[in-house]
């Protein structure tokens, strides 16, 4: 088991309101997606030296979508070879401190894990933990997964996607940064193999309702099925889930299977 201490949080008190999307709102979501709006850290296509890995990431289990061909290191070649292999692949988007992801990788040495966290400092700290626990099946990125996933993984390659306590982006002017949107759900449908699992948790009931609405609007997904939680098995809760348990706060979990 991983030996991380507790983290303290405050419980935000902001309104989270949503309505079913109109045709124009749905069209705008796709237009924003194509333009790269809302990507955390900005669109990598317009970032200087985005084709190069940072020095601290060279020869580490670290990747960026546009730097897979960085000739200064073997990162890209090694990751591509692992993806091309037969091991099942699981992805966590927004791993934070890494409690869930590192524990899961330690429990399933025959599975390849990819973790995304846009906070570079958190990614570097997690990389140190990957080395500490001598995990050979876990790769990390500080890319925004919305940009990176379709550029790194072929379609239907992923067995499970875990999205645990994503930022709700409460303010109306920040909603474009919210992870879940119709094109993002399309991306998940593309990434998951038939029968693959989408595993979501939040302590914001309204966000969970929005996610359920968006996912169940995508024909590739079967409706939420609580029985699918059994597929997760034993796990280390995220630091946010630990905080919710200590403070008696509700957690809403959703489980969706990719249709065949």
Residue 211 domain boundaries: 23-257
Q: What residues are annotated to the active site?
A: 167
Query: Of 6, 18, 15, whose CA–CA distance to 182 is shortest?
Result: 18
Task: Please spell the DSSP secondary structure of 59-78, one letter per residue.
Answer: TSSB--GGGTT-TTSSHHHH
What pLDDT score was predicted for residue 16? Answer: 86
The answer to whether 33 touches 183, Cβ cutoff 8 Å, is yes
pLDDT for res 15: 77
pLDDT of residue 5: 41
- Does residue 84 fall inside a structural domain? yes
Residue 158 domain-assigned (yes or no): yes
Instruction: Decide if 18 is inside a domain.
Output: no
Residue 29 lies in a domain: yes
* Number of domains forming the structure of the chain: 1
Which pLDDT belongs to residue 172? 84
Over residues 108-153, the pLDDT tens digits come to: 999 999 999 999 999 999 999 999 999 999 999 999 999 999 999 9
pLDDT at 119: 97
Give residue 17's pLDDT: 83
**Does 237 fall in a domain?**
yes
What is the 8-class DSSP label of residue 165? S
Q: Is residue 95 within 8 Å of residue 117, measured between CB atoms? A: yes
**Is the Cβ–Cβ distance between 125 and 96 less than 8 Å?**
no
**CB within 8 A of 135, min separation 6: which ones?**
61, 102, 105, 106
Question: Domain for residue 65, yes or no?
Answer: yes
Query: Which two structure tokens, joined as six digits, stand for 88?
Result: 């099942």
Question: What does the pLDDT look like over 50-81, one tens digit per residue?
Answer: 999 999 999 999 999 999 999 999 999 999 99
Low-confidence ranges of the chain (pLDDT < 50): 1-11
**Does some domain include residue 160?**
yes
- Percent composition of the chain: helix, strand, coil (DSSP 3-state, to 5): 40, 15, 45
Coil vs helix vs strand at 123: helix
Write the CATH number for 226. Answer: 3.40.50.150
Q: Can you give the pTM of this predicted structure?
A: 0.94
């Amino acid at each position: 088991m991983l030996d991380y201490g507790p983290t303290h949080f405050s419980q935000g008190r902001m309104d989270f309101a949503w309505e079913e999307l109109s045709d124009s709102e749905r069209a705008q979501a796709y237009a924003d997606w194509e333009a790269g709006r809302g990507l955390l850290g900005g669109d990598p296509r317009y970032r200087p030296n985005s084709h190069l890995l940072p020095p601290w990431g060279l020869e580490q289990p670290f990747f960026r979508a546009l730097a897979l061909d960085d000739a200064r290191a073997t990162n890209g070649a090694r990751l591509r070879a692992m993806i091309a292999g037969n091991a099942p692949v699981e992805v966590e988007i927004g791993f934070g401190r890494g409690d869930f992801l590192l524990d899961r990788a330690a429990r399933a040495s025959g599975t390849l894990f990819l973790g995304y966290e846009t906070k570079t400092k958190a990614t570097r700290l997690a990389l140190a933990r990957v080395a500490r626990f001598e995990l050979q099946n876990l790769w990390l990125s500080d890319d925004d997964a919305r940009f990176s996933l379709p550029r790194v993984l072929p379609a239907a390659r992923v067995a499970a996607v875990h999205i645990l306590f994503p930022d709700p982006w409460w303010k109306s002017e920040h909603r474009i940064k919210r992870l879940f949107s119709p094109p993002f759900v399309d991306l998940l449908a593309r990434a998951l193999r038939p029968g693959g699992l989408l595993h979501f948790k939040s302590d914001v009931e309204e966000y969970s309702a929005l996610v359920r609405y968006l996912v169940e609007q995508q024909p590739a997904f079967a409706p939420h099925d609580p029985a699918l939680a059994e597929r997760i098995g034993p796990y280390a809760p995220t630091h946010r889930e630990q905080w919710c348990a200590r403070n008696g706060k509700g957690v809403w979990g959703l489980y969706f299977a990719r249709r065949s």
